[in-house]
Amino acid sequence: MSQSRSHTGRTIAAHAVLLTYTLIALFPVFVIVINSFKSRKAIFADPLALPMPENFDAVGYTTVLQQGHVVQYFANSLIVTVASLFFVLLFGAMAAFALSEYRFKGNMLMGLYLALGIMIPIRLGTVAILQMMVAAGLVNTRTALILVYTAQGLPLAVFILSEFMKTISDDLKNAGRIDGLSEYRIFFTLVLPLIRPAMATVAVFTMIPIWNDLWFPLILAPSEATKTITLGSQVFIGQFVTNWNAVLAALSLAIIPVLALYLIFSRQLISGITAGAVK
């Protein structure tokens, strides 16, 4: 009995910690969203007040949406994020499969080399990357961003996915080989569905930094046609005057697509875990 009580106690403590953390993490987002619906005066008078009929003002949203290019910025962000994610997951999973499935000379070294990027920030190479993009004529294209983000996401993807690949039963792959499936079919139809939860985890970890990045869009693709939403929101932040309504509205809107992607991946995560592999 005492054991069950201490168990309840521990559960409560754990939930208290988690709830506190959730509140702290969500607080800035909450403040941004509520203030985006308030008039400029109300934002500064009482930043924590909820939007009420007397202080309600959607001027931020109308400014942002009238600013013509916003839809384009959103599209750019989505295209870059989704395309980078696709390549990171595809190439990451393929490399992980090769590393864990085939015995070849330098297998271990290759794995280490591919994982090295986790510890070396890609921004250290910004100058070289910019020179390369200029030479390749890719400046001010979304392709430039997609290439850089794919390179940035691959090390962690290869590292996490190759750990998961090792847990997949050899018997299943061997059964496929005996039944005459090609290595590609084995990879795409037998292995990939079984590592879906891991892929979803990698997708979430990869997606957020890409969506939020300001650095590479500013350096590689600052043109009006290729701006991402994070960069696009900066037009409202001036050196002398900042249109806070518009900044807050733009940031609030920027949360929506990434939230949608996250929900899709987390569903994958859960369904992957509950479906389970057949032993």
| Residue (168 or 208) nearer to other proteins, CB | 168
Query: Is residue 193 part of the contact set for other proteins (CB under 8 A)?
Result: yes
Residue 181 phi, psi (nearest 5):
-80, 145
Query: Is residue 106 part of the contact set for other proteins (CB under 8 A)?
Result: no
d(CA 93, CA 108): 17
When binding is defined by CB under 8 A, the residue of 47, 177, 209, 237 that contacts other proteins is 177
| 152 class by beta-carbon count within 10 Å (0-12 exposed, 13-18 middle, 19+ buried) | buried
Window contacting other proteins (CB under 8 A); options: 9-17, 62-70, 129-137, 177-185: 177-185
Window contacting other proteins (CB under 8 A); options: 29-37, 175-183, 232-240, 248-256: 175-183
d(CA 188, CA 74): 31
CB of 268 to other proteins, least distance (A): 15
When binding is defined by CB under 8 A, the residue of 111, 155, 176, 197 that contacts other proteins is 176
When binding is defined by CB under 8 A, the residue of 20, 107, 189, 223 that contacts other proteins is 189
CB of 195 to other proteins, least distance (A): 13
When binding is defined by CB under 8 A, the residue of 68, 106, 137, 276 that contacts other proteins is 276
Window contacting other proteins (CB under 8 A); options: 118-126, 155-163, 170-178, 217-225: 170-178
Query: Is residue 167 part of the contact set for other proteins (CB under 8 A)?
Result: no
Query: Is residue 190 part of the contact set for other proteins (CB under 8 A)?
Result: yes
Q: How far is CA 102 from CA 99, 166, 195, 212, 235, in A?
A: 6, 11, 18, 37, 51
| Residue (47 or 193) nearer to other proteins, CB | 193
Contact 256, 76 (CB under 8 A): no
Given CA atoms 270, 273, 277, 279 in this order, what sign does their dihedral have? Answer: negative
CB of 198 to other proteins, least distance (A): 16
Q: Residues interacting with other proteins, by CB under 8 A? A: 169, 171-172, 174-181, 189-190, 193-194, 275-279
